[in-house]
Structure 1
């Protein structure tokens, strides 16, 4: 990964707790694995569009080994008993079309409805803009009300996926 900008690291208070938002890195594979393992079945369903139990090491490496250009991800963490715990992640990856990047967001269940998703998305969007990205999109299940509300709040456009009426495509052009 290219050297992250100093402004890519944010320390803030949310819901009375100190959190850090920072770029993910390859050393975070265990952190990411623990995060996914502790998601509820519903949250896993919305993130992965189905039931999963474990994520392979290859997938974890893909999630954590970002280059800052074609792929980028920010994680939110909190300290619990002096141990860093991942509480959310927002990422994008380039698609086969130039300047088109797919994004994904996942928030730990106990941190949902607290504004963490918006903080992460704003960080990722700001990073994308500053690195010349022109278009971000996300494919979500149509019944994912949390993502619908967040994407609307962020000014993203929504349309039904022409290939699957059970999915919505949210997009944001810069």
Structure 2
């Protein structure tokens, strides 16, 4: 009789990684590489956004983004400091690495101990636990960098983010400036 370990698929190896990274398994057992977003990920980030469904793209940007121009990419790639962090999730796809999710935070104001966060998962990778993994790595990083609170402003109709933030202990309130939005908040 084969051992239990021999029944599990062998993990795919990822290219050797420098610096901070994790190889996690999703709820379905799929391996995923999570690491900080790097300058060489620029085209990968652009393709990721362009391949999101219109609904997912709208939920990510709280508005319509039809084209990912250089200015938006410059803003999204401006990370790698204590104040601005992004973690990218990558999987093997036809011999190359494909971005399937990203989480990020940006310090809210100069010297503030509060960060605004965002997490986005490719449509074909949703409901597998990737959003929770990405957000948990982001929470851990923000805490280790001395931040005291995280928040996210999202559409009140975005059920997925509400479920995700509920599972991770966030509180929720209606945005006082826009009743169609909800502010999710987590004290660290």
Do the two structures share a fold, i.e. TM-score over 0.5? Answer: yes
Cα deviation for residue 96 of structure 1 reads 1.7
Structure 2's unaligned 5+ residue stretches are 1-17
Runs of 4+ in structure 1 over 3 Å off: none
- Larger Rg computed on CA atoms: 2
Aligned positions of 1:44-123 closer than 5 A: 44-96=57-109, 98-123=112-137
Secondary structure, counterpart of 1:113 in structure 2: coil
Does residue 27 (structure 1) correspond to residue 40 (structure 2)? The answer is: yes
Larger mean CA deviation between 54-63 and 146-155 belongs to: 54-63
Give the equivalent residue in structure 2 for 1:142: 156
Does residue 154 (structure 1) correspond to residue 168 (structure 2)? The answer is: yes
Structure 2 CA distance for aligned equivalents of residues 170 and 89 of structure 1: 18
Give the superposed CA RMSD: 1.4
TM-score normalized by structure 2?
0.86
Aligned positions of 1:31-42 closer than 5 A: 31-42=44-55
Q: How many residues are paired up?
A: 169
Structure 2 CA distance for aligned equivalents of residues 137 and 156 of structure 1: 9
Structure 1's unaligned 5+ residue stretches are none
TM-score normalized by structure 1?
0.92
On the 8 A contact 1:26/1:61 being kept in 2, the answer is: no
Structure 2 CA distance for aligned equivalents of residues 118 and 33 of structure 1: 23
Cα deviation for residue 9 of structure 1 reads 0.6
Structure 1 CA distance for aligned equivalents of residues 25 and 143 of structure 2: 25
On the 8 A contact 1:88/1:108 being kept in 2, the answer is: yes
Does residue 13 (structure 1) correspond to residue 21 (structure 2)? The answer is: no
Secondary structure, counterpart of 2:63 in structure 1: coil
Structure 1 CA distance for aligned equivalents of residues 57 and 97 of structure 2: 21
